[in-house]
Amino acid sequence: MNRYPLWKYVLILLVLVVGVLYALPNLYGEQPAVQVSSSNGGDATPALQKRVQSILSGASLPADSVKLDDGRLLARYDNADTQLKAAGVLKRKLGDNFTVALNLAPSTPAWLRALGAKPMSLGLDLRGGVHFLMQVDMKTVFNDTYDRYSRDLPKYLRGQSIRYSRAYRDGDEVKLKFPNARIMNKAESALSSQFNELQFQPAPDGQNTLVAKLTERQKKHISDFALQQNLTTLRNRVNELGVAEPLVQRQGSSRIVVELPGVQDTAQAKRLLGKTATLQYRLVAQGHDAQEAARTGNVPAGTQLYHMRNGQPILLKDDVIASGDQLVDASSGFDQQSGSPAVFVTLDGQAASKMFDVTSSHIGDPMAVLYTETRFDTNYVNGKKVTKQHKEQYVISVANIQSAFGKRFQTTGLERGEAHDLALLLRAGALAAPVNIISERTIGPSLGADNIAQGRLAVIVGFLLVIAFMAVYYRLFGLIANIALCMNLVLIVAGLSLLQATLTLPGIAGIVLTIGMAVDANVLIFERIREELDAGNTPQTAIRTGYDKAFTSIFDANVTTLIAALMLFGFGTGPVKGFAITLCFGIVTSMFTAIVGTRAIVNLVYGRRRRLQSLSI
């Protein structure tokens, strides 16, 4: 009467085995480690491994192990004190060509790692992480804006056949000089109707000069837009980094706070978050001597002088065919013919059309890819911190156009690490303005030790109290519910680990709440079975009817809670999402363990006994 077919038992056993396997890594903990990687983003090599081992041995700081792991080198230690000493020695010995960072490496055995089993991530309040305070360079935003207007205003006047003597930028102003006052007044009327975000007024010197400046309202709009676009771009870049539950939020009028839970290595985060790298595709200016232009400084009209990565000068045409902000998608890979690293880019419709037109009419001509990156250099002058911005531009590749192309093509000329990082930056979007990391804080895991201990205590105490109550009040059926509760906890941890979700203090609260909710279903079932027994039904009938009739109430209650949890996850941020995701996992696993799991055990205990006289409930 109360029996499951074999396949149901196999399914339950399979789910339990998988749950145990993927929950196991959380028992092994993490080990202090020193991470060494190349500053240019390239992979660590066996030669670097031998060098690091030699340095550590010479300093009497031998590591437990020094191994290559996913393109980086990890030297593991037993304690944080030795880890810090080793990091200091490696920084001095390896120099600026390598990045040395503190990390926490999982101690998961190799056989579990081979199955893809990893411990779940811990949030900033439990594990620590990285805190960045970034300053958005608003000066660059307004410089670019006024440079654009210094080109757009004269172009509009020429289109309207309004004659002017000179147009130039003077600080935060654009000045237009006219032959006489009548033409100046005509120009002011035309420009005011077309560029209403600017305010125009005659210069006080009375030299028939019109001064254009941004209105205060437009200045605020530009700065807010730049900050918002940077927020969006940084969030995209954090998502590309794979950091769970990051915090990216505005602080004041020109600053952004970024918190990356669980990240102890700041190298990659700093390299990718602050970069403003982009690409431009231009035709090479033929018929001119680039060497002569570089030597004399006389650059032919309509061209610009740049250099290749090896320092060789090259002249490119002014016209930009396509740029990084016109890319729809970008991914890194390898060129099928040469095997060299490549970035595969997809252009938007307008840029694709222009690219096709240009390549169609210039087959056989060389086209260059110009790489641009803004950097910030920080030095100390007379004890004061001075940060200077400079722009690096060089041509990464030049190739002859073999045939017309438009929407999708590839760019080569980068190292493997550079190709991966550039694809990430292009895919995440360009920053509207350069950002400078003015404050960096690595929060150690010791700060979260008390939180972890208290959270663990809350889970254990709540778990034991529920187990004790169920065992005393429902006897054998209570013990069966406790077995299902243990299964539920294992499956929650396994689910969080499998999806690499981040566990925070609110997440622990969600687990504690789930423990209480998990037995709710069993309480409803067991009380329903008691009612059936009191009504005079046989034990076997009471078991079947109890599970069948309680299912609707259990399902409705859990679905409504799941909807609320999904809303919290969809509209919440940070800690609220941490609570919601554990609650979602707990609802799904408790439905499975409380209904399917407990019934399987009850069927094994009572299902084969036809003349059952009583139940231990």
Domains of the chain (ranges; CATH) run 6-23+447-606 (1.20.1640.10), 31-106 (3.30.70.260), 139-215 (3.30.1240.20), 275-430 (3.30.1360.200)
Tens-digit pLDDT profile for residues 294-334 = 888 888 888 889 998 788 899 998 888 887 667 666 777 77
Helix/strand/coil for 370: strand
pLDDT band at 245 (very low <50, low <70, confident <90, very high): low
Q: So what's the pLDDT on residue 18?
A: 92
Question: Cβ distance 187 to 162 under 8 Å?
Answer: yes
Angle formed by the axes of helices 598-606 and 539-571, to 10°? 170
Block residue for tokens 């130039």:
168
Alpha-carbon radius of gyration of the chain: 33
Q: How distant is the alpha carbon of residue 258 from its chain centre?
A: 11
Rounded to 5 degrees, what are φ and ψ at 334?
A: -130, 145
**376 pLDDT higher than 60:** no
Whole-angstrom distance, CA of residue 44 vs CA of residue 99: 11
Give the CA angle between residues 521, 524, 528 to the nearest 5°.
140
* pTM of the predicted model as reported, rounded to 2 decimal places: 0.55
Helix (H, G, I), strand (E, B) or coil at 592: helix
- Predicted confidence at residue 20, as pLDDT, reads 92
- Is the pLDDT score of 429 beyond 60? no
User: Could you give the C-alpha distances from 435 to 248, 255, 324, 428, in angstroms and in order?
Assistant: 14, 9, 18, 15
Decide if pLDDT at 388 tops 70: no
Locate 553 and state its tokens: 């109430």
Q: Indicate the Cα dihedral angle 268, 270, 276, 281, nearest 10°.
A: -20
- What dihedral angle (degrees, nearest 10) is formed by the CA atoms of 101, 107, 113, 117? -100
The answer on pLDDT for 144 being more than 70 is: yes
- 398: CB partners within 8 A, 6+ apart: 284, 308, 314, 366, 367, 368, 369
Picking from 81, 93, 30, 107, the residue whose alpha carbon sits closest to that of residue 56 is 93
H helices within 160-245, ranges in order? Answer: 181-194, 216-241
Q: How far apart are CA 245 and CA 263, in angstroms?
A: 12
Please tell me the predicted confidence (pLDDT) of residue 242: 47
- 155/194 Cα distance (integer angstroms): 12
User: Hey, how many other C-beta atoms are within 10 angstroms of the C-beta on 614?
Assistant: 7
**Of all helices (H) and strands (E), which one includes residue 63?**
none
Q: Are strands 121-122 and 502-503 parallel, antiparallel or unpaired?
A: parallel
Range in 421-435, 438-452, 524-538 with the lowest mean pLDDT: 421-435
For position 378, what pLDDT does the model report?
A: 56
Amino acid at 484: A
Check: CB of residue 314 under 8 Å from CB of residue 395: yes
Q: What are the structure tokens assigned to 559, written together? A: 């679905």
| Beta carbons of 20 and 13 less than 8 angstroms apart | no
Q: CB–CB of 178/163 below 8 Å?
A: yes
Long-range residue pairs from 159-165, CB within 8 A, at least 24 positions apart, any chain: 160/190, 162/186, 162/187, 162/190
Please tell me the distance from the alpha carbon of residue 255 to that of residue 292, in angstroms, as a whole number. 45
Q: Is the pLDDT of residue 554 over 60?
A: yes
pLDDT band with cut points at 50, 70 and 90 for residue 262: low
Q: 76-106, pLDDT tens digit by residue?
A: 888 878 888 888 888 788 875 677 777 777 8
pLDDT score of 517 more than 80: no
Q: Which of 192-196, 204-208, 569-573 shows the lowest per-residue confidence on average (mean pLDDT)?
A: 569-573
pLDDT at 529: 87
- Is the confidence at residue 604, as pLDDT, over 80? yes
User: Which residues, in sequence order, are CB contacts of 517 under 8 Å at separation 6+?
Assistant: 561, 586, 587, 590
CA distances from 342 to 337, 370, 411, 419, 558 (A): 11, 15, 5, 6, 49
The predicted pLDDT at position 485 comes to 87
Percent of all residues in the chain with a pLDDT value above 90, rounded to a whole number: 4
Q: What is the residue whose two structure tokens read 């694709």? A: 352
Q: pLDDT, tens digit, for every residue of 122-131?
A: 766 776 778 8
pLDDT for residue 284 is more than 70: yes
Whether residue 202 has pLDDT greater than 60: yes
Q: Which has the closest alpha carbon to 136: 483, 389, 342? A: 389
Length of the chain: 617
Residues 240-263, mean pLDDT to the nearest whole number: 72
Segment 498-527 shows an average pLDDT of: 81
Over residues 426-437, the mean pLDDT reads 67
- Token pair of 435 as six digits: 């950002």
| Residue 470 host element (H or E) | helix 449-498
- 3-36 pLDDT, tens digit per residue, is 788 888 898 999 999 999 999 998 887 788 888 8
Q: What is the mean pLDDT of the chain?
A: 80
